[in-house]
Amino acid sequence: MSPEALMSWIIFTPTLFAFGLIFFDKKAEEPMRYWSLCGTAVTFLQTLLLACSFSPEDAGIQHMVKVPWIENWHINYQVGFDGISLPLVLLTSFVSLLSMMASWSIKKQVKGYLVLFLLLETGMLGVFLSLDFFLFYVFWEVMLLPMYFLIGIWGGPRREYAAIKFFLYTLAGSVLMLIAILMFYFGSAPEGQIGSFDLMQLTAMAEKGDVFSPGLQVAAFILLFIGFAIKVPCFPFHTWLPDAHVEAPTPISMILAGVLLKMGGYGIIRIAFPLCPYGAQYAAYVLVAIGVTSIIYGGFAALAQTDFKRLVAYSSVSHMGYVLLGIAVWKISESNGAAVGRDYWLMGMNGAVFQMLAHGISSPAMFFMVGVIYDRVHHRDINQFGGLSGLMPLYSGLAAGIFFAGLGLPGMCGFIGEVFVVLSAWNFSKTLAIVSASGVIITAGYILWCLQRVYLGPEYKGPHLDEIKANPLTTRETFIGATFLAFCIFFGVFPNYVFDMTGKSMEKLVQGLDTGYQNTQRLTGGVQTTQTTQKQN
């Protein structure tokens, strides 16, 4: 199968399998689960095939498909991938597969759950593969709705609140994004003509620098950024995350942490930055500051949590702060607007993508580990655990390994992303770099303290001790945990596989942004630029 066709197959395979579920009897839960598992596995294999057709030397979009969809408005069905999106596509199908395995714990309305799950996967894959702004938006919304129901129906006791909060936040973000989409659509058109939704075209226009005015870029960037920052989630927009995570069922938490959060970062890298390089540079300092604040704030908030899942959720906020930090360390020279120390910025960008990947593996794993114990004891109060290492040694070993990955231990995936990002930050701002580096202390603090309270100690302090003893770790759970841990270690030891993948595309992106900013500044915005650069210092 050609890679072009394969991409569409990847996007819609889960949907096909979701249709297939219609023919199952409502009572046949086990066959339905296997069928859905089969669907996610097929999707995963397809993405692996897609990865085989990827050539790391090619920096641009590979195997792009462009079919007119709504021709009057220049909307296309346009999909393709490059070194930035491919790792995330792989991550999506991988996490979906493992989450589906973890979905055996769902007992209620299995059919509906599975259908929504598969639709969700279609949405996620579509977001990462689409190259048309409109199509992107459509998939973005496609993903939103199943998530709402998955949290709202299969969630915990406060699921309605969490689902609505999630929905409102995300919808607010999408609305802002929609405004920005229209701004670009009309901004890209010469007088009286039809604009474009083609991200590649828009990127090229932004790079030329004379199409989008600085004002438009700044405004659009703010809109896009808020839209994506909600998804990331960054410091002031993060409060939906703990609630959504806590209330969502375990597999959905895994998806949420593993894939959905990555969309924010991906959106910033793929859309917000390339489309408005001027705006991005204008806001770079604020972005870095927000990223650093997220790191520290999330860490402190995690330290104070007593709900196990909430702690992990806040750790996500903290970890995703590194992503934003890495993306935005774009320092420019005051004289000509060229990037200063571009290689460091490149490193930050790469580190950010790696951090997304690393967090995409370690965070779902953490949520899964929480879910495993929650399935047994039905509570998540950290202070009511203890002694699990004696009761469930294998589980505790896996969990400790995975939590160490979250802690940023060298040799595990979290380390590479965090440290690369932090190392690249000094070039941008010394103060913020130092503050971000202090995150390592807080991270160690909350993770180790949590480990101590949950896994260490002589005896289990909470209820349902018999449940723990009666249900040792199943093979399925062991497999999921071990797979996650293995990948944590693999990426920690051989990060070059990821960097080889992202390297060229990222170089092209950074190059383009640099050019785009300089062009915009030269052609249009002299006055504002001085203000911007002053702000940098």
Partner 1 sequence: MEHLGEKLAALLAIAWLLPLLGFTIEVFGGYWGARNCKKAAYIAIGCIAAGFVCSSTALYLWGSETGWVALESASHGGHDEHSSATDDAHTAGDHGGHDHAATVVEHHHKQTVFSGCFYRLAKFGSLNLSLDWYIDSLTLTMFVMVTLIATCIHIFAVGYMHEELTDDYVDHQVHTHDGCHFHRPGRFYRFFSYLSLFCFAMLGLVLAGNIFQVFIFWELVGICSYLLIGFYVERHSASTAANKAFIVNRVGDFGFIIGLMILWTSFGTFSFADQHAADGKVQPGLFSMVRGSDGKLEATDGIVVLKTQQDEHGHWQVPPDSSQRKTIAYTLLIVAGLGVFCGCVGKSAQFPLQTWLPDAMEGPTPVSALVHSATMVAAGVYLAGRFYPMFTPEVLLTIAYIGCITAFVAATIAIVATDIKKVLAYSTISQLGYMMLALGVGGWGAGLFHLITHAFFKSLMFLCSGSVIAGCHHEQEMPKMGGLLRKMPITALTMLIGVVAIAGLAIPGTSIALSGYHSKDAILATALAYTKLNSVHFLLFLIPLLTAGITAFYMFRLWFYTFLGKPRDQHLHEHVHESPLVMTVPLLVLSVFAAGCAIGGEEGVLFRMLTHSQPGHVAQGFNGLAAQTVSLPSHDAIHKVHSTAGSAALLAAFCGMTIAYLVYGLGLVNPEEIKKQARAVHAFLANKWGFDDLYDTLFVKPAHVVAKFAAAFDKLVFDEILHTVVRFAVVISKWDRKFDEGVIDGFVNLVGNSTYSLGIGLRGVQTGRIRQYVTFIAVSVVTLFVLLFAFYPKG
Residues that bind partner 1 (CB under 8 A): 165, 168, 236, 238-239, 242, 297, 300-305, 314, 341-344, 346-347, 350, 387, 389-390, 404, 409-411, 415-416, 419-420, 422-423, 425-427, 433-434, 437-438, 440-442, 444-446, 448-449, 452, 455-459, 495-496, 499, 503, 507
How many residues belong to the chain?
A: 537
| In the complex, minimum distance from the CB of residue 507 to partner 1, in angstroms, rounded to a whole number | 7
- The Cα–Cα gap between 67 and 70 comes to 9
| In the complex, minimum distance from the CB of residue 431 to partner 1, in angstroms, rounded to a whole number | 11
**H/E segment holding residue 310:** helix 308-328
| In the complex, minimum distance from the CB of residue 434 to partner 1, in angstroms, rounded to a whole number | 6
By C-alpha distance, which of 2, 534, 537, 530 is closest to 214?
Answer: 530
| 119 vs 433 by CB, closer to partner 1 | 433
| In the complex, minimum distance from the CB of residue 433 to partner 1, in angstroms, rounded to a whole number | 6
**401 vs 11, 406, 409, 460, CA distance in Å?**
33, 9, 9, 20
| In the complex, minimum distance from the CB of residue 77 to partner 1, in angstroms, rounded to a whole number | 35
Q: Count CB neighbours of 57 within 10 A.
A: 8
| 106 vs 442 by CB, closer to partner 1 | 442
| In the complex, minimum distance from the CB of residue 313 to partner 1, in angstroms, rounded to a whole number | 11
| 14 vs 291 by CB, closer to partner 1 | 291
| In the complex, minimum distance from the CB of residue 308 to partner 1, in angstroms, rounded to a whole number | 14
| 112 vs 341 by CB, closer to partner 1 | 341
| Residue 474, C-beta contacts closer than 8 angstroms, at least 6 positions apart | none
Phi and psi of 63, rounded to 5°? 55, 50
| 139 vs 491 by CB, closer to partner 1 | 491
**How many CA atoms lie within 13 Å of 470's alpha carbon, on the beta-carbon side?**
7
| In the complex, minimum distance from the CB of residue 428 to partner 1, in angstroms, rounded to a whole number | 9
| 84 vs 127 by CB, closer to partner 1 | 84
| 296 vs 523 by CB, closer to partner 1 | 296
- The Cα–Cα gap between 274 and 277 comes to 6
| 113 vs 235 by CB, closer to partner 1 | 235
- The Cα–Cα gap between 79 and 209 comes to 25
By C-alpha distance, which of 323, 330, 379 is closest to 353?
Answer: 323
Q: Say which residue the tokens 């009572």 belong to.
A: 27
Letter string b/e over residues 458-479, b meaning 16 or more CB atoms within 10 A of that residue's CB: eebebeeeeebeeeebeeebee
